[in-house]
Copies of this chain bind each other. A is one copy, B any other.
Amino acid sequence: MRKNRLRQIWAEGGCAVSGWLAIPSSYSAEGVARQGFDTVVVDLQHGMIDIATAIAMLQAISTTDAVPMVRVPGNEATMIMKALDAGAYGIICPMISTAEDAARLVSACRYPPLGERSFGPARGLLYGGPDYFAHANDVIVTLAMIETSAGLENIDAILEVDGLDGIFIGPNDLSLALGEAPSSDPAAGSRAAAAIDHLLERTQAHRKHAGIFCANGVIGGKRRTAGFDFIAPGNEFNLLVAAARRELEHVRGTEAGRGKGSASGY
């Protein structure tokens, strides 16, 4: 079975940098994957992407060395299994609040007797190879999103779930859960910032992996230095619209005004 480069990077103590896709197109997916990312995540939760398009996007990512991953919309076994059958080598699952949640996620990602994944690897077989079944349980990576108060409280129990590779932090939702405004880079001193530090520390204590979504690469670099080993520096839609606005302003000569407002995402 094809190796999972993400595991190799981690085994070497490295930090994986991930593209993040919200635009439903296999062309932009291939373009992003081609830039040198270690992994690329197709976002089925907040991305404007459905599973049919996601399959074509996973194929597009598979033309490169980037590891194809999927953020599923929720902790539902049918969609997790479908993403895996489509060739995803990693699953990021939102809103994991308890060890039971995490165990369900892991179970959906693993064939019996370790889990309850149904057999029928489909495109997984094309991407992984004919010995897919023999190794899939070891190759697939599972990351639990910690973004609720309960998830924060239960972090140790969650990290103890066998088969869970680590966590992925959504700073916006985590901020909201802690009663703060959504922020992709919570300010020092905020509850969210403290929670992020705590989550990283606990994850490292459990010798598992900690990922985080960042608004951009500068924040991502800071997170890498702090010890995160899976960094997603912005989704491609936000990068695109910010870049488009910047060029527009350059033509108009209004780029000086940019400092006052934010172009991102709107």
Query: Residues of A with Cβ closer than 8 Å to B?
Result: 15, 17, 19, 22-28, 30-32, 34-37, 45-53, 55-56, 59-60, 62-63, 73-74, 76-79, 81-82, 85-86, 94-95, 111-113, 118-123, 125-127, 129-130, 133, 147, 170, 172-173, 176-177, 179, 181-182, 214, 216-218, 220-221, 224, 231, 233-234, 236-237, 239-253, 255, 262-263, 265-266
Contacts and interface: CB of A to CB of B under 8 A. Distances in A.
B176 A119 contact: yes
A218 B28 contact: no
B250 A46 contact: no
A136 to B, nearest CB: 11
Contacts of A74: 77-78
B231 A122 contact: no
Contacts of A172: 119-120
Nearest to A119: B172
Given A27-B237, A63-B63, A176-B111, A36 B251 contact: no
A78 B71 CA distance: 12
B240 A239 contact: yes
Nearest to A112: B176
A189 to B, nearest CB: 20
A237 B50 contact: no
A182 to B, nearest CB: 5
Contact of A123 (B27, B81, B147): B27
Contact of A250 (B45, B129, B147, B218): B218
11 contacts: A17-B252, A23-B23, A28-B28, A35-B263, A36-B248, A46-B119, A130-B266, A217-B250, A218-B250, A221-B251, A239-B243
List the 10 closest pairs (A to B, CB-CB), nearest first: A217-B250, A46-B120, A217-B247, A220-B251, A50-B52, A239-B243, A73-B78, A74-B78, A233-B247, A119-B172
A173 B253 CA distance: 27
B262 A130 contact: yes
A63 B133 CA distance: 20
Q: Of A77, A81, A234, A248, which is in contact with the most chain B CB atoms at under 10 Å from its CB?
A: A248
Given A74-B78, A130-B266, A266-B130, A236 B246 contact: no
Contact of A56 (B59, B85, B133, B239): B59
Contact of A245 (B35, B147, B262): B35
B233 A251 contact: yes
A214 to B, nearest CB: 8
